[in-house]
Structure 1
Amino acid sequence: MSTIKKTLAIAAVALFASACSITTDTNEVGLDYDYDSWSGEKVLEGCVPPGNRAWQDINDPGFAYPADQRSFDFSDSQGAESKPITVVSKDNLEMSVAGVATFYLNQDCKTLQAFHEKIGQKFAANTDEGWARLLGVYIKQPLDRAMDAAAKKYDWKQLFADPAIKQAWETEVATLAQQFIKEQAGSEFFSQFRFTLQQPQPPQNVRNALAAAQEAVEQNAAQRNKNEQVKTELQSIKELVSVLGPEGYVLYQAMKDGKVQIVPVPIGSNINVTPKN
């Protein structure tokens, strides 16, 4: 091998050994930084679109963040990011709400850089654990605040049992949550929010009491119907007694119940009837 070829081969190996890449999956967007080992300064070289690769020096850092729709699930479901969120109604009853918020991370390169440098690297949000911690601070806390603020306008029975009130409350939560999330983050790092909120649930003892009260209402209604039926029957008896007389009514009722057997006897017939004992 000639000296020139040997030199080129060594250079190629050295270049390969001193280079790496940041590769994004189809649901990721990357940040490619250039690191100056002398000054310690990191300068963004550019963003890496989903499903692409950027070659870097071995010392240059790269970070990948979600490019697809993300969710924050607050429910009793297995794997949810949080338990249901509690709110307090206008009449000071604590209620629990399950639901899910979906959103996207803003992929504009400058905005993504600001997100990484302000929030992402502090939480190590390019890891699953770091992303989960970020959700708790920048999604859950503002959403909790928004849900509570909107619930203060309504009594618990309205939130629990009135579909129109629940719809109005949910709409206001969506508006407030986006405002509070932006305030918490300091910029519009998250966008395209969708909120699905379940019916606010009062404590179990309150639900039990409500069910018992409803059962009592239904029992009272049934008793009223029975009372009306008895009144109607008594009125019918009074009318029969007025026509037949007391003894006539007794005989009528006995005949109606099948307790008196009637045998037709022709007039002038010589027939004896022996009653049963």
Structure 2
Amino acid sequence: MNRKLTAALIGLPVVAVLTGCSLSPAPDQAGLIYDAGPLSTTSFQECVAPGSRAFYGPSDREYTYPAGQRTYVFGGGEESDIDYIRVADKDGIDLGVAGQLRFTLNTDCDTLVQFHEKIGLKYDGGKDWSGILAVYLQQPLRKAITEATQGQTWRELYQDPKKKSDWENAVKAALPAAIEQATGGAYFINIDLSLQKPVLPQQLTDQLLATQRASEAAIAQAEENRRLELKAQGEKALIDLYGADNYVLLKAIEDGKIQILPVPQGAIINLPAGR
């Protein structure tokens, strides 16, 4: 290269055009920014609070996670995240359990970084949120419900409000520890749970319905028998009062089988022959 041209080029100022990005989590999200430049190892840079904004370099990486209370719905219905949780009672009867699990992801900066690096990175940087919940919430929930149900019978849970309440409270008490054991840290907090009455197998439901209908029919029949008994007692009282023949005549008049016509006093009544 020409020495004069080289000297001229060396004397020119060098301008680097860098473009940056910004992370602005929604009010119900928390963000993380990692320094991932081409000349450095990937390392944590900063947390971004819900609703705030942070700027980072073009080679850096950003991640977002849910902030605030979330609800995990299980059971039948379009709004459910998963189907019924199936468990067996003390007698081995298969039950379907539905309910709602409410929780909050701990977005304290240090804790969120630990969660991200320990769990989130295995699930596409937290993008596979349903996958995270399936492993770290659903499985502990199944365990807690299964253990609480093993000592109960379906009749107790289905028909005894106190037993059902005790069962629900037992699951709620065991769940936080089960979740922390699965995750290895206090990453999910403010855990609360509500369970519905267990859903019975269809055959058992049909049997209960048939039993209920038979019971209702028996009650109706008993009421009818009582009505007939009272009626018979009333008829006996009238027979004792008026005599059997007069009671038959009175009954015929009441039923409209004999018509009584008013006759003015002193009127002469001519009856046809044979009457």
Q: Which amino acid aligns with 1:28?
A: Q
Q: Deviations over 1:200-236 (max 9, x none)?
A: 1112222222122111111111111111122222233
- Kindly indicate whether residue 158 of structure 2 is the aligned counterpart of residue 160 of structure 1: yes
> In the TM superposition, what are the counterparts of 1:234-249 in structure 2 within 5 Å?
234-249=232-247
The size of the alignment, in residue pairs, is 267
Q: Secondary structure at the match of 1:104?
A: strand
- TM-superposed CA distance for 1:271, in Å, is 4.2
Cα distance in 2 between the residues matched to 1:229 and 1:156 = 38
Q: Which amino acid aligns with 1:124?
A: D
Q: Which amino acid aligns with 2:110?
A: K
Q: Secondary structure at the match of 1:82?
A: coil
Instruction: Give the 3 Å change call, closer, same or farther, for CA 237–179 of structure 1 in structure 2.
Output: same
Instruction: Give the 3 Å change call, closer, same or farther, for CA 245–190 of structure 1 in structure 2.
Output: same
Gaps of 5+ in 2: 1-8
> In the TM superposition, what are the counterparts of 1:51-200 in structure 2 within 5 Å?
51-78=51-78, 80-127=80-127, 130-200=128-198
Q: Which amino acid aligns with 1:31?
A: L
Cα distance in 2 between the residues matched to 1:136 and 1:236 = 71
Cα distance in 2 between the residues matched to 1:34 and 1:92 = 54
Cα distance in 1 between the residues matched to 2:13 and 2:222 = 105
Q: Deviations over 1:91-142 (max 9, x none)?
A: 3221212222221111122211111111110122521xx1111110111111
Aligned position for 1:25: 26
Question: TM-score, length-normalised on structure 2?
Answer: 0.82
Further displaced range: 228-237 or 52-61: 52-61
Cα distance in 2 between the residues matched to 1:265 and 1:126 = 101
Aligned position for 1:34: 35
Instruction: Give the 3 Å change call, closer, same or farther, for CA 54–275 of structure 1 in structure 2.
Output: farther
- TM-superposed CA distance for 1:243, in Å, is 4.0
Gaps of 5+ in 1: none
CA contact (8 A) 2:116 2:126 kept: no
Cα distance in 2 between the residues matched to 1:248 and 1:62 = 103
- Kindly indicate whether residue 219 of structure 2 is the aligned counterpart of residue 221 of structure 1: yes
Q: Which amino acid aligns with 1:47?
A: C
Further displaced range: 260-269 or 55-64: 260-269
Q: Which amino acid aligns with 1:33?
A: Y
Q: Deviations over 1:145-195 (max 9, x none)?
A: 112222233321232233333333222222212221111111110111232
Instruction: Give the 3 Å change call, closer, same or farther, for CA 266–196 of structure 1 in structure 2.
Output: closer
Aligned position for 2:43: 43
- TM-superposed CA distance for 1:57, in Å, is 4.1
Q: Deviations over 1:248-268 (max 9, x none)?
A: 332232233232344677999
Q: Which amino acid aligns with 1:231?
A: E
Aligned position for 1:7: 13
CA contact (8 A) 1:125 1:134 kept: no
Q: Secondary structure at the match of 2:189?
A: strand
Further displaced range: 21-30 or 85-94: 21-30
Cα distance in 1 between the residues matched to 2:266 and 2:48 = 121
Aligned position for 2:6: none
CA contact (8 A) 1:96 1:200 kept: yes
CA contact (8 A) 1:31 1:62 kept: yes
Provide the alpha-carbon RMSD of the alignment.
Answer: 3.1
Q: Which amino acid aligns with 2:148?
A: A
